[in-house]
Structure 1
Amino acid sequence: MYRKQATFRFYEELNDFLPHAKVKVAFAYPFNGSPSVKDAVEALGVPHVEVDLILVNGQSVDFAYRLQHGDYVSVYPTFETLDISGITLLRERPLRHTRFILDVHLGKLAKYLRMLGFDTLYRNDYGDEEIIRIALAQHRIILTHDVGLLMVKTVTHGYWVRSQKPREQVREVMARFELYRQIDPFNRCIRCNGMLMEVPKASILDRLEPLTIKCFNKFYRCQGCGNIYWEGSHYERMLHLIKTLEER
């Protein structure tokens, strides 16, 4: 039987993690002992990396704050326009260079991000421990469909991708991290994330189909895996997507 109770209220996209009855309303959270506010937030289903500000009774606190009976807890996501520099920071500021590592469920999103020029690691055999190790060592943001992965204590930067459709996922990630001005398309290999370099057509004729040789003159080779690229029909479709993102 619970002996204590606090009141929680989650704001904006943090409500995506909550059951319907707790969305955009204040609700009671019963507890015993003195759990940290971080443990309480994650017990309610919200990963700590999605949270940027916690107010307890109107005062900002860090994740280590111990809940007390009667506390009113307001939990906020990342702020894009409001300056919160004067309050308690829950985690490090955004990484200086935006780089990603994706879980096994986001292979198509990885290709889109690479096409847009973002340094994006992905393999379909990455395990959770390996993803976390690489993310910490290389200062990468974890993108995942697995909420549990973002609740691992050592994870510092991550985002739970809501959409199931790759193109919507791209727009979602671009908006979440304000990446529009960082688009630098067609500089990365969509297969391995390596950098592309223009190569003379004559040096790769043995790797091209006759129709490709006839119709195209500019080619690029990945410095990692050696894959060859040219501006075919797929290129035109990607230009349309890039245009819509840049307009945004």
Structure 2
Amino acid sequence: MVTATFRFYEELNDFLAPERRKREFASTCARAATTKHMIEALGVPHTEVELILVNGESVGFDRLLQGGDRVAVFPKFEMLDVTPVLRVREHPLRLIRFVADAHMGGLAHLLRMAGFDTLYDNNFHDKEIEAIVVRDGRIVLTRDRELLKRRAITHGCYVHALKPPQQFCEIFERLDLGRGAHPFTLCLECNVPLHPIGKAEVLTRLPPSVRERFETFSTCDNCHRVFWEGSHWRRMRDLLNECMGIEPIPKIASGI
């Protein structure tokens, strides 16, 4: 056994035992223990970590710890570019796509609303999610820290907020999603692209009030639901505006 000194910063402290938060502390490590092993043994999922310094040097998750090492662990930096020293992930994701665990249905719905490809099934098991990540290279969204510790899951977010609207804004801010958002372009049920459709083609499927008030429609080729501008989406648009910091977006989408 060897002993190393650890210090975790900012929100990573939320995962630690209270007596270890916002301070240096010593911890014994098994011989040949890596930074990843010890960080997760102390309670922090590796997906929450953006930068590790050992004795002032940027290292990856595979660095073997030695007696006397001083380990500083940082979360994602919002205002500081650490790319020149970043080593924990060698392959950034080219596409922002998500897979949400079984308890994140409300968040998945809101992300689809914003135009982000988000897989969700309330029957997803951890092994299924891990397989999806390996296959598609998606970002895992969960409140299950043990899921995020799985080796194959390289990109993930532990969602701190409890309610979907707050979860939505948390993920938007944390991952800086505003520039990649394309609101109301995906089916909220099927997660596939919507496309425009003429009013005449769907006229018989519309409620009388909708026929009178709306002219622009879109549809999903998978479930064949029809979407139109609708007042009950106002709160959703307001939420997008709040999280994205943009001017109000055009109204769209109630559906049948």
Residue identity in the other structure for 2:48: E
1:90 is aligned to 2:91: no
Q: Helix, strand or coil: the match of 2:40? A: helix
Determine the C-alpha separation between the residues in 2 that align with 1:236 and 1:216.
15
Say if 1:88 and 1:97 are closer, same or farther in 2 by CA, change over 3 A: closer
Q: Determine which of 169, 188, 210 is the counterpart of 1:190.
A: 188
Contact persistence 1:194–1:225 (CA under 8 A)? no
Matches within 5 A, 1:175-214: 175-214=173-212
Which residue number corresponds to residue 9 of structure 1? 7
Determine the C-alpha separation between the residues in 2 that align with 1:92 and 1:49.
13
Contact persistence 2:133–2:152 (CA under 8 A)? no
Which residue number corresponds to residue 66 of structure 1? 64
Contact persistence 1:50–1:78 (CA under 8 A)? yes
Matches within 5 A, 1:5-154: 5-87=3-85, 89-154=87-152
Residue identity in the other structure for 1:206: T
Determine the C-alpha separation between the residues in 2 that align with 1:209 and 1:237.
22
Determine the C-alpha separation between the residues in 2 that align with 1:239 and 1:154.
35
Contact persistence 2:50–2:86 (CA under 8 A)? no
Q: TM-score, normalized by length of structure 1?
A: 0.93
Which residue number corresponds to residue 253 of structure 2? none
Deviation for aligned residue 1:93: 4.4
Deviation for aligned residue 1:107: 0.4
Contact persistence 1:11–1:75 (CA under 8 A)? yes
Q: Helix, strand or coil: the match of 1:66? A: coil
C-alpha distance after superposition, 1:24-57 (max 9, x if no partner): 1111212343311211100011111111211111
Determine the C-alpha separation between the residues in 2 that align with 1:165 and 1:185.
20
Determine the C-alpha separation between the residues in 2 that align with 1:86 and 1:189.
39
Contact persistence 2:192–2:220 (CA under 8 A)? yes
Determine the C-alpha separation between the residues in 1 that align with 2:29 and 2:154.
26
Which residue number corresponds to residue 174 of structure 1? 172
Instruction: Compute the RMSD of aligned alpha carbons.
Output: 1.7
Contact persistence 2:173–2:243 (CA under 8 A)? no
Contact persistence 2:148–2:156 (CA under 8 A)? yes
Work out the percentage of aligned pairs sharing the same amino acid. 46
C-alpha distance after superposition, 1:113-160 (max 9, x if no partner): 111111111111111111121122112111111111110011111111
Deviation for aligned residue 1:204: 1.6
Deviation for aligned residue 1:88: 5.3
Structure 1 stretch displaced more, 46-55 or 83-92: 83-92
Determine the C-alpha separation between the residues in 1 that align with 2:80 and 2:10.
14
Determine the C-alpha separation between the residues in 2 that align with 1:191 and 1:178.
25
Structure 1 stretch displaced more, 31-40 or 106-115: 31-40
Determine the C-alpha separation between the residues in 2 that align with 1:170 and 1:35.
36
Q: Helix, strand or coil: the match of 2:122? A: coil
Deviation for aligned residue 1:195: 0.8
Residue identity in the other structure for 1:140: R
How many residue pairs match? The answer is 246
Contact persistence 2:112–2:188 (CA under 8 A)? yes
Residue identity in the other structure for 1:220: S
Gaps of 5+ in 1: none
Q: Helix, strand or coil: the match of 2:79? A: coil
